[in-house]
Structure 1
């Protein structure tokens, strides 16, 4: 059995626009349906790696937990983005945003975001542990959680004077007072 060409070419970023760093959020919104998820960093499209099953399970279980426990003024979301500017966006694994964010949108503005969560995978360690916290803090996102896998361990940070400070971490139960009273058994988000 041989694979027959379908005539379909997989989408890739335009190399000329990548060199010019000229991509905007409008370009991302116009991508074809089969394009991978991308973030914009100073006008350059960065392809977001495809997650593993365990990664997705942790994200889904956390989304479900937040949906069931967060106060009504919040809305939990997965695979949606944060628009920082016309040429800078984020694609966190899980978000907690204002409840009034329209369900038809792909992006929230930073002011609507309360919590950004990243689940660390082998290919995203440096970005999730070092780069993203600094970028989220610079954007003004009040809370950031980093979730390590194998075993699942949650690190919770609050924005204090422009940078994140570790406020709690646990492999058993995450207990926080912000962004709301949280008692999250880590087993609830462990695949």
Structure 2
């Protein structure tokens, strides 16, 4: 067994904290912090995931109203011990090119496009943590017969849990967090 590189050793006995992610230049891209533990996403990204996330980012960017920005793969500092990195976020935070994370109070929508290695975290852990942090809208986009299916959730504020709004195939039409109409099938067109 080889020894761990120094950067992988927590800086304190309590483990990792949110601010530590910015001090790990040797960590792989897409390193997340969940409950004080580093989570590395090192499996190869599938074409389906990459194309759906890119197309959805482009569509949401075009639909977002003034004052709302759409970004990919930037972490959200949920608390001192949690800094997950969703695939897509829509925020009302001021534009700052040097930003490495967003506050939940500035995030109006989180979108996770599942992949085999992230399914469990996206469906359970992240769903719960985003709700507890007060993020009002969460979408989980999954693959069904090579087509995107959106599981849409909205925050029930009194319980700080997500209520399912619907499972959408084909055309996604919503009025919140801003007016949205998306042909989900167009996000990953199949060629004949």
Specify the SS of the correspondent of 2:147.
coil
TM-aligned CA distance change 1:126 to 1:35, over 3 Å: closer
1:11–1:34: 8 Å Cα contact kept in structure 2? Answer: no
Gaps of 5+ in 2: none
Distance in 2 (CA, whole Å) between partners of 1:36 and 1:12 is: 17
Among residues 147, 154, 157, which one is paired with 2:150 in the alignment? 154
Report the CA distance between 1:13 and its aligned residue.
Answer: 5.5
1:57-72 paired onto structure 2 within 5 Å:
57-72=51-66
Among residues 136, 160, 163, which one is paired with 2:161 in the alignment? 163
Distance in 2 (CA, whole Å) between partners of 1:49 and 1:34 is: 11
Distance in 1 (CA, whole Å) between partners of 2:29 and 2:93 is: 27
Counterpart check, 1:24 vs 2:17: yes
1:79-158 paired onto structure 2 within 5 Å:
79-149=73-143, 150-158=146-154
TM-aligned CA distance change 1:34 to 1:180, over 3 Å: same
Report the CA distance between 1:62 and its aligned residue.
Answer: 0.7
Aligned to 1:6: none
Aligned to 2:33: 40
TM-aligned CA distance change 1:52 to 1:18, over 3 Å: farther
TM-score by length of 2: 0.85
Distance in 1 (CA, whole Å) between partners of 2:6 and 2:54 is: 28
1:65–1:188: 8 Å Cα contact kept in structure 2? Answer: no
Moved >3 Å (runs of 4+):
10-13, 18-21
TM-aligned CA distance change 1:101 to 1:53, over 3 Å: same
Specify the SS of the correspondent of 2:90.
strand
Aligned to 2:181: 183
TM-aligned CA distance change 1:48 to 1:21, over 3 Å: farther
Distance in 2 (CA, whole Å) between partners of 1:148 and 1:18 is: 36
Report the CA distance between 1:107 and its aligned residue.
Answer: 0.3
TM-aligned CA distance change 1:13 to 1:57, over 3 Å: farther
Specify the SS of the correspondent of 2:117.
helix
Aligned residues: 182
TM-aligned CA distance change 1:97 to 1:11, over 3 Å: farther
1:155–1:166: 8 Å Cα contact kept in structure 2? Answer: yes
